[in-house]
């Protein structure tokens, strides 16, 4: 059979997410009926691990079993033979399937869930060897999960689809459809090919789908290798433009898309691919999606993947949330608020009016502590409305999702009432408060009346409808749970009516329920007033047995009471879910408004807690930060009680930005200073206050960072190559409105090569890009450019020495570093004393050779890329007799020695001195 095209391997170190099965295994010849059914289903789902339901377990066979056993760490066994070989098998309990699914999904695998769709009793009617019907009811993939136990509550679960259109003979424009079926969010955008990687990084997708043609494009091959998410190609024939538009119309029940806005062909192609993939993975279930919104070009601050990683915006370099900027600033109290904050941080605004509206909202909440506290209390008791609504729309909801909507809408109503009583509410918050009250108030009352206090996870478990809500359910429960009491009550009534205290209602498998009375009483019942009530069943030696219409009806109701109670509760659930879904758009608006309130209140809480200030964001090329601090480093220092040294930064210019060239020792704080100013710009443009005494910033359109270095062995690139690739991207893309931070450009190669490259990059940033930039370097020769480049200033990190030890003051001041203090830093790092001493001697020799070299060129007169030769290394000189003794003394650290070690060292020194003299 034909196999699907190969997919990109997840970057997890796990087995590939392609599950190829050999033709021999897919042959059903000689297979048992059950295995033949498995093979048939597996043949239709070769790109997934198949969870095949057998009783209380999901079983996996053949290669699927081998992959799953390795990934999950479970025992691999065998079951029978196929094609003359043992069949590998492993399984997971159905009750714990979500736990195993979450681990497989985290590794980038896809899983087809195959359930029994027939009662085993029905299968037996077809014959003793008939197999219960099974069907794949769902494909579980990283980008299409909806269960709470499989999702990170604070992170969006984005499925990203790509489309493409030609914009010329060699240029292409890419459409992106970002869709989160766990919340219903759906956005479309178009970007040129050069910005595709940056746009993908902004969305942080869990999974990417695209056409086979895009996936096979050689120009994009490296991109697919770099993306830390599985990439799934779809058949080109199924992604025609007409079918894409049709799927959109069907999804939203409209005859035209004009009401949603104007979308380009690439965007429509991406949207069609996303909906096709959802249709396949959800096996016909249609999620509740918000109408697609179009993100205009340039609406967000462009940040490429490298800069996001360097600045650790949402994840640290090791991939953890802890230690990132997001972790440091997150004061949200709801899952939806945490997700929206991460979304804002991934795409800071470039719309000046929108930024100022956000700042006004934060300022109002920061200045009104009691109002902020009440708002946060209401938000804290609001469950995740968006995800609960999505599960109901897909038919996967449970009673707790109904309760989440009840509690969330109740909190929204309380918050709306509180906001109505506030004076001077800013425009943004007033608009949000209005959106909170768009849902029918009666829905909350209905849910409150219908739902019990203690709710099961699944609707099939029953017991979630409150007692007194529906009489039929109460009666069915009474019959099912308290049948003995009901029978006893009927028995007592019959005993009173017949005057027979020994009348009993009994049960056996032959007759079911029956009334038993003594022989004499029975004869009277046949002739007296009870003859119209009692129906004779049996005559015994000393007793007679009867039934009654009432008892027969009661028996029928008792025997089906539990099933009837479950059916009635299911009907209540369906009615409530239908009513909720009827107001899905309004509920989605409430969910979005709650999240936005939470983010604004979070920023305000943080501002008050950390004494952050409202920045002034404006047009132009200003960049003035007074008393700026690094938000993450400051948070870490607060825990230890150490102060953070604040610093100023001014990169302002009238028609362009300025460059600040920073010199100073390692560990002096250059990288922290660079990063903190980039993070202040990001915080300002997401609408937050900033860690500074004052900040006035001109809008930044693109942010670039080249900080730190590492090999990329997978791409065959050295540290220096990675550095040059990232620097090239900056020099080619930065505009006058951009902010650039560069650290140690040129340090990965020979000294004069690196100096030449750094020099040329500085000139290019100054003359061509004209952007605002911070440029840290150890090439002190570059500081002379401050006299030649009108928009370049020199700054340094203050350092002092105390008792022979270097002290880093972490204070940025105007000027030039006098020395690098490299040997002092090496000593702090723990290099052996002998190495430090030898390095000091070599350094003195090199510095003397540099001073004494005739014709030494000055940086002022040095032509670019001059052919300079490094000074010669010093020749080793014979040691004087006392040199070895002196080195031995220098190598001893008295504070690190135990008394015994000190005594032994003294004896060694004495012995060596005697030998020398």
Same domain, 69 and 109: yes
What's 626's DSSP letter? Answer: E
What percentage of the chain reaches a pLDDT higher than 90? 52
The residues that bridge with 443 in the sheet, in sequence order, are none
pLDDT in tens, 858-867: 444 444 333 3
How would you classify the pairing of strands 772-776 and 739-743? parallel
d(CA 520, CA 103): 72
- Residue 110 · residue 9 · CB < 8 Å: no
The verdict on 775 and 627 lying in the same domain is yes
The arithmetic mean of pLDDT across residues 534-540, rounded, is 91
Pick 105 or 484 by higher pLDDT: 105
pLDDT at 404: 96
Q: Identify the band that residue 441 occupies on the pLDDT scale cut at 50, 70 and 90.
A: confident
Question: Crossing angle, helix 265-281 and helix 241-252, to 10 degrees?
Answer: 60
Q: Are the C-beta atoms of 404 and 383 separated by less than 8 Å?
A: yes
* Radius of gyration, CA atoms only, the chain: 37
Secondary structure E strands in 181-229: 185-192, 207-211
Q: Considering only CA atoms, which of 145, 61, 69 is closest in space to residue 106?
A: 145
786 annotated to bind ligand: no
Lowest mean pLDDT across 245-254, 469-478, 834-843: 834-843
Q: Round to whole Å and give the CA distance between 259 and 762.
A: 49
* Number of domains composing the chain: 7
803 carries a ligand binding annotation: no
Among 265-279, 520-534, 536-550, name the one with the lowest average pLDDT: 520-534
Spatial CA neighbour of 287 closest among 592, 594, 588: 588
DSSP 3-state of 236:
helix
pLDDT at 829: 75
Contact of 722 with 711, CB cutoff 8 Å: yes
pLDDT at 26: 63
Average pLDDT of span 501-508: 91
Q: 232 Cβ partners below 8 Å, 6+ apart?
A: 7, 47, 141, 207, 208, 209, 210, 277
Does residue 308 lie within any of the structural domains?
no
The H or E element that residue 553 is part of is: helix 549-559
Q: Using an 8 Å Cβ cutoff, are 58 and 52 in contact?
A: yes
Residue 11 predicted with pLDDT over 60 = no
Whole-number Cα distances in Å, 424 to 355, 358, 371: 19, 15, 12
Q: Residue 898 above 60 pLDDT?
A: yes
Cα dihedral sign, 732-735-741-745: positive
Kindly give, in sequence order, each residue whose CB lies less than 8 Å from that of residue 426, ignoring residues fewer than 6 positions away.
357, 360, 361, 363, 364
| Bridge partners for 617 per DSSP | 697
For residue 315, being part of any structural domain is answered with: no
The pLDDT score that the predictor gives to residue 5 is 34
Q: Clarify whether residues 256 and 285 are in a common domain.
A: yes
Residue 790 falls inside a structural domain: yes
Domain contains 147: no
210 by Cβ neighbours in 10 Å (0-12 / 13-18 / 19+) ranks as buried
**Looking at residue 917, what is its pLDDT?**
57
The residue among 109, 140, 171 that closes a domain is 140
- The per-residue pLDDT for 882 is 58
Backbone angles phi, psi at 625, to 5 degrees: -125, 120
CA dihedral 514, 516, 520, 521 (to 10 degrees): -80
Exposure b/e, 401-431, CB count within 10 A at least 16 = b: bbbbbbbbbbbbbbbbebbeeeeebbebbee
Q: For the ranges 48-57, 212-221, 729-738, 879-888, which has the lowest average pLDDT? A: 879-888
Residue with tokens 């723990």: 830
Given a cut of 50, whether residue 706 has pLDDT beyond it is: yes
Closest CA to 717 of 708, 705, 728, 709: 709
Determine the pLDDT at residue 160: 96
Token readout for 197 is 């990687």
**SS3 annotation, 767-820:** HHHCCEEEEECCCHHHHHHHHCCCCEEEEEEEEEEECCEEEEEEEEEECCCCCC
End-to-end CA distance of the chain: 90
**DSSP assignment of 498-549:** HT-TT-EEEEETTTEEEEEEEHHHHHHHHHSGGGGTEEEEEE-SSEEEEEEH
Residue 258's CB is within 10 A of a number of other CB atoms, namely: 9
Mean pLDDT of the chain: 86
Q: How confident is the model at residue 713 (pLDDT cuts 50, 70, 90)?
A: very low
What does the pLDDT average to over 327-334? 96
Query: When comparing pLDDT for 14 and 266, which is higher?
Result: 266
- Residue that terminates a domain, selected from 830, 860, 891: 830
Residue 703 and residue 652 share a domain: yes
Judge if 493 and 565 occupy the same domain: yes
The answer to the question of residue 378 being in a domain is yes
357 pLDDT above the threshold of 90 = yes
Confidence of residue 712 (pLDDT cuts 50, 70, 90): very low
Q: Which of 654, 634, 611 is nearest to 325 (CA)?
A: 634
Tell me the percentage of the chain whose pLDDT exceeds 70: 88
User: Which structural domain range is residue 895 located in?
Assistant: 881-916
- Give the residue from 715, 774, 718, 776 showing the smallest Cα distance to 745: 776
Contacts of residue 194, defined as CB under 8 A and 6 or more positions apart, other chains included, come to: 733
pLDDT value at position 903? 72
Instruction: List the single range of 635-639, 743-747, 765-769, 811-815 with lowest mean pLDDT.
Output: 743-747
With bands split at pLDDT 50, 70 and 90, how would you rate the model's confidence at 798? confident
| Number of other residues whose CB lies within 10 A of the CB of residue 877 | 9
- Helices 561-582, 441-450: inter-axial angle, 10-degree rounding: 170
Q: Is the pLDDT of residue 826 over 80?
A: no
Q: Three-state SS for 363?
A: helix
**Cα angle: 242, vertex 246, 251; to 5 degrees:** 155
Higher pLDDT, 841 or 275: 275
Who contacts 693 (Cβ-Cβ below 8 Å, separation ≥6)? 613, 626, 627, 646
Please report the pLDDT score of residue 64 as a whole number.
Answer: 93
What is the spatial distance between Cα 407 and Cα 587, in angstroms, rounded to a whole number?
12
Does the pLDDT at position 586 exceed 60? yes
Instruction: Provide the pLDDT for residue 486.
Output: 84
Average pLDDT over residues 360-364: 97
Pair 744, 684 in one domain: yes
309: number of Cβ within 10 Å: 18
pLDDT at 215: 93
Is residue 304 within 8 A of residue 200, CB to CB? The reply is: no
| Residue 318, pLDDT score | 85
Pair (799, 665) in one structural domain = yes
Q: Residue 314 domain-assigned?
A: no
Q: What is the mean pLDDT of residues 296-322?
A: 90
Q: Is the pLDDT of residue 479 over 90?
A: no
Question: Is residue 732 in a domain?
Answer: yes
Do 822 and 864 sit in the same domain of this protein? no
pLDDT, greater one: 194 or 805: 194
Lowest mean pLDDT among 27-31, 174-178, 508-512: 27-31
807 and 837 housed in the same domain: no
| 411 and 553 fall within a common domain | no
Domain finish residue from 544, 569, 594: 569
Q: Are residues 841 and 801 in the same domain?
A: no
Residue position matching structure tokens 């902010």: 739
Instruction: Confirm if 325 and 580 have CB atoms less than 8 A apart.
Output: no
Ligand-binding annotation for 664, yes or no, is yes
Q: What is the pLDDT of residue 7?
A: 38
* Pairing status of strand 616-618 against strand 111-116: unpaired
In this predicted structure, what is the pLDDT of residue 14?
A: 36
pLDDT at position 308 over 80: yes
CATH of the domain at 547: 1.10.1420.10
Q: For residue 896, is pLDDT > 80?
A: no
Q: Could you read off the pLDDT of 669-693 as tens digits, one per residue?
A: 888 999 999 999 999 999 999 999 9
Asked if the model's pLDDT at residue 717 lies above 70, the reply is: no
Confidence of residue 123 (pLDDT cuts 50, 70, 90): confident
513 in any annotated domain: yes
Shared domain for 598 and 531, answered yes or no, is no
Location of structure tokens 């950390």: 610
Which is more confidently placed, 536 or 807?
536
Is residue 742 a contact partner of residue 706, using CB atoms and an 8 Å limit? yes
User: Do the beta carbons of residue 723 and residue 706 sit within 8 Å?
Assistant: yes
* Residue 669 annotated as binding site: yes
Does 527 appear as a known binding residue? no
């Amino acid at each position: 059979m034909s196999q699907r095209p190969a997919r990109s391997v997840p970057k997890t170190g796990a087995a590939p997410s392609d599950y190829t099965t050999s033709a021999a295994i897919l042959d059903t010849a000689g297979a048992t009926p059950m295995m033949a059914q498995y093979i048939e289903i597996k043949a239709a789902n070769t790109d997934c691990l198949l969870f095949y339901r057998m009783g209380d377990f999901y079983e996996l066979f053949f290669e699927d079993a081998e992959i799953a056993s390795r990934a999950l760490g479970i025992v691999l066994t065998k079951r029978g033979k196929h094609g003359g070989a043992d069949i590998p098998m492993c399984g997971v309990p159905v009750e714990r399937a979500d736990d195993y699914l979450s681990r497989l999904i985290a590794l980038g695998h896809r899983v087809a869930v195959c359930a029994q769709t027939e009662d085993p009793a029905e299968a037996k009617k077809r014959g003793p060897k008939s197999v219960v019907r099974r069907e794949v009811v769902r494909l579980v993939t990283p980008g299409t999960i909806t269960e709470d136990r499989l999702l990170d509550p604070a992170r969006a679960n984005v499925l990203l689809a790509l489309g493409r259109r030609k914009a010329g003979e060699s240029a292409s424009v890419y459409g992106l459809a970002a869709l989160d079926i766990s919340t219903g969010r759906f956005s479309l955008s178009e970007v040129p090919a050069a910005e595709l990687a940056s746009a993908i990084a902004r969305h942080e997708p869990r999974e990417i789908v695209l056409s086979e043609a895009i996936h096979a494009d050689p120009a994009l091959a490296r991109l697919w290798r770099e993306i830390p998410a599985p990439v799934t190609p779809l058949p080109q024939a199924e992604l025609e433009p007409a079918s894409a538009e049709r799927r959109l119309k069907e999804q939203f029940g409209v005859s035209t898309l004009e009401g949603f806005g104007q979308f380009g062909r690439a965007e429509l192609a991406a949207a069609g691919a996303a909906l096709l993939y959802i249709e396949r993975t959800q096996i016909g279930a249609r999620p509740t999606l918000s109408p697609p919104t179009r993100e205009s070009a340039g609406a967000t601050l462009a940040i490429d993947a490298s800069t996001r990683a360097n600045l650790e915006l949402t994840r640290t370099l090791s991939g953890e949330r802890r230690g990132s900027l997001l972790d440091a600033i997150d004061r949200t109290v709801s899952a939806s608020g945490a997700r929206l904050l991460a979304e804002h941080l991934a795409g800071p605004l470039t719309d000046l009016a929108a930024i100022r509206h956000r700042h006004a909202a934060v300022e109002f909440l920061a200045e009104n502590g009691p109002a902020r506290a009440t708002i946060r209390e209401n938000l804290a008791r609001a469950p995740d409305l968006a995800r609960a609504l999505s599960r109901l729309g897909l038919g996967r909801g449970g009673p707790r999702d109904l309760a989440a909507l009840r509690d969330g809408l109740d909190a929204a109503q309380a918050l709306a009432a509180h906001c109505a009583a506030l004076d001077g509410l800013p425009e943004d918050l007033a608009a949000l408060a209005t959106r909170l009250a768009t849902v029918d108030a009666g829905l909350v009352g209905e849910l409150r009346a219908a739902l019990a206090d203690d709710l099961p996870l699944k609707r099939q478990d029953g017991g979630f409808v409150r007692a007194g809500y529906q009489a039929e359910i109460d009666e069915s429960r009474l019959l099912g749970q308290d049948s003995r009491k009901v029978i006893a009550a009927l028995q007592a009534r019959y005993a009173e009516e017949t005057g027979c205290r020994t009348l009993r209602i009994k049960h056996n498998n032959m007759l079911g329920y029956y009334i038993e009375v003594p022989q004499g009483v029975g004869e009277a019942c046949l002739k007296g007033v009870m003859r119209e009530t009692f129906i004779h069943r049996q005559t015994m030696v000393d007793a007679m047995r009867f039934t009654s219409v009432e008892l027969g009806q009661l028996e029928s109701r008792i025997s089906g009471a539990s099933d009837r109670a479950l059916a009635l509760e299911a009907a209540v659930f369906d009615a409530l879910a239908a009513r909720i879904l009827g107001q899905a758009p309004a509920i989605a608006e409430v969910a979005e408004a709650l999240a936005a309130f939470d983010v604004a209140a979070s920023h305000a809480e943080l501002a008050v807690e950390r004494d952050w200030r409202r920045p002034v964001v404006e047009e132009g090329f200003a960049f003035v930060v007074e008393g700026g601090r690094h938000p993450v480093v400051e948070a870490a220092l607060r825990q230890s009680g150490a102060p953070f040294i604040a610093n100023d930064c001014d990169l302002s210019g009238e028609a362009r930005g300025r460059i600040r060239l920073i010199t100073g020792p390692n560990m002096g704080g250059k990288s922290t200073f660079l990063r903190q100013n980039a993070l202040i710009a990001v915080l300002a443009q997401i609408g937050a206050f900033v860690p500074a005494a004052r900040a006035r910033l001109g809008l930044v359109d693109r942010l670039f960072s080249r900080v730190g270095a590492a090999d990329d062995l997978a791409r065959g690139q050295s540290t220096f190559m990675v550095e040059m690739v990232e620097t090239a991207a900056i020099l080619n893309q930065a505009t006058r409105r951009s902010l650039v931070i560069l650290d140690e450009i040129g340090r990965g190669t020979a000294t004069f090569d690196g100096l030449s490259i750094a020099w040329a990059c500085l000139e290019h940033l100054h003359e061509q890009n004209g952007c605002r930039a911070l440029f840290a370097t150890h090439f002190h020769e570059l500081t002379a450019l401050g006299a030649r480049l009108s928009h370049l200033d020199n700054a340094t990190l203050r350092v002092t020495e105390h008792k022979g030890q270097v002290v880093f003051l972490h204070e940025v001041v105007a000027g030039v570093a006098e020395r690098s203090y490299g040997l002092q830093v090496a000593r702090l790092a723990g290099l052996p004393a002998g190495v430090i001493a030898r390095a000091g001697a070599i350094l003195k020799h090199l510095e003397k050779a540099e001073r004494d070299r005739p014709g030494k060129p000055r940086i002022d007169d040095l032509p670019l890329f001059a052919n300079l030769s490094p000074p010669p290394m010093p020749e080793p000189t014979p040691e004087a007799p006392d040199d070895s003794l002196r080195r031995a003394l220098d190598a001893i650290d008295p504070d690190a020695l135990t008394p015994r070690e000190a005594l032994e060292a003294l004896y060694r020194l004495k012995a060596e001195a005697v030998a020398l003299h």
